[in-house]
Amino acid sequence: MDLLVVGSGLFGLTIAERAATELGLRVTVVESRDHIGGNAWSTVDEATGVEEHRYGAHIFHTSNDAVWGYVNRFTEFTPYEHRVYARHRGEVFPLPINLGTINQFFRTGLGPDEARRLIDEQAGELAGREPGNLEDKAISLIGRPLYEAFIRGYTAKQWQTDPRDLPASIITRLPVRFTYDNRYFNDTHQGMPRHGYAAWLQRMADHPLIDIRLGVDFLDDGHAFSRDAAVGQVPVVYTGPVDRYFGHRYGALGWRTLDFDRQVLDVADHQGTAVINECDEDVPYTRTLEFKHFHPERTHRDGTVVVREYSRFAEGPDEPYYPVATPEDRARLERYREAAAEEPRVLFGGRLGTYQYLDMHMAIGSALSRFDNTVRGWF
């Protein structure tokens, strides 16, 4: 073994693939789960034939041509364009907030300039007062009526906190489009892997010099690929949680997690689209996903798979999904970064190793540049 990669998510797989293909290195990848691919992994429901994203809906999008070129070596992408809808008081509206949302909500037929004037007027409610919390900040950006309908309940559920008790700094902008364009992403490239996420990720791992060991936790003692056996002996790329690597010595970093309530329904189509945000506070879940709509080009059997997502703070063994990043978390992270810099030939990468939310293209882009800037220099 020339290189040990901890974690087979997109960051770890990209490093492993590049090291094997470009440098001809023998790479061992240890993965504590029973499958590769990290949070992008998908499985197929046997009864319906629907591909399910096991860790929340994943849509690939990027404006980075190098990343797009790289991922297309392993999979083709369908021309899927993501659109999200919002449910509020029994009515469904298009998101991000656009001319269609505004005209449906206010029962108007405004053009772009009139709509802009209306929103500016409503956003002027604070009359120059500095927003003291998230609610004020959102009102200063889009006005109270749209905030109360589409942002307040959703945000309160996401953070389990009244938006008046959240810092204004959580949001810097709330996009409002004065056109009817409701494509969720503005990126140059987007789509779904044509043969599924599992096939894409498997293809990245399929290399004679890459040895994948599933069900192996790097931080457990007593095996040949553990931290104690490997660090200092072989270069390591570590994509697990940075605080866990150091035994939480400066305290645990805060994360939000999701609970998934999954149902297989005996109907052909439950909601007519892939994602509906549930904006009202009296509906306890934040989103409803219906996976078959990610692949309109596929023929599915009867039935559909629907998942309701519930958001809460992660504790103990929960999956860490989104960094909370309070000022205390950021201070702790700084200390972990200093400790990480002292580790001999260990690169901390990916979303858990750097405590950052990363979209897939960001995880891949970061792995490609850190492969060039750090890993190459080790050999």
In the numeric block, the tokens 């002996």 are attached to 233
- Whole-angstrom distance, CA of residue 171 vs CA of residue 367: 27
- Whole-angstrom distance, CA of residue 201 vs CA of residue 291: 19
Q: Which of 19, 25, 38, 150 binds ligand FAD (CB under 6 A)?
A: 38
Interface stretch with ligand FAD, choices 27-35, 105-113, 200-208, 310-318 (CB under 6 A): 27-35
Question: Does the footprint of ligand FAD cover residue 11 (CB under 6 A)?
Answer: yes
DSSP 129: P
Strand, helix or coil for residue 222: coil
- Whole-angstrom distance, CA of residue 228 vs CA of residue 81: 46
Question: Does the footprint of ligand FAD cover residue 368 (CB under 6 A)?
Answer: no
Contact string (CB under 6 A) for ligand FAD, positions 306-335, x = contact: ---------------x--------------
- Whole-angstrom distance, CA of residue 50 vs CA of residue 274: 12
Q: Which of 5, 28, 39, 202 binds ligand FAD (CB under 6 A)?
A: 39
- Cβ proximity to ligand FAD: between 139 and 314 the closer is 314
Interface stretch with ligand FAD, choices 57-65, 99-107, 186-194, 333-341 (CB under 6 A): 57-65
- Whole-angstrom distance, CA of residue 101 vs CA of residue 110: 11
- Whole-angstrom distance, CA of residue 176 vs CA of residue 98: 6
Is the distance from CB of 146 to CB of 119 less than 8 angstroms? yes
- Cβ proximity to ligand FAD: between 143 and 349 the closer is 349
Residue 38's closest CA among 204, 158, 190, 159?
A: 204
Q: Which residues are known catalytic residues?
A: 173, 177, 256, 287, 309, 357, 359
Q: Which of 2, 114, 217, 280 binds ligand FAD (CB under 6 A)?
A: 217
Contact string (CB under 6 A) for ligand FAD, positions 173-202, x = contact: ------------------------------
If you compute the radius of gyration of the chain from its CA atoms, what whole number of angstroms results? 22
Interface stretch with ligand FAD, choices 88-96, 130-138, 295-303, 350-358 (CB under 6 A): 350-358
Strand, helix or coil for residue 141: helix
Question: Does the footprint of ligand FAD cover residue 59 (CB under 6 A)?
Answer: yes
Give residues in contact with ligand FAD (CB under 6 A).
Answer: 6-12, 30-33, 38-40, 55-60, 217-219, 239-240, 258, 321, 350-352, 358-361, 363
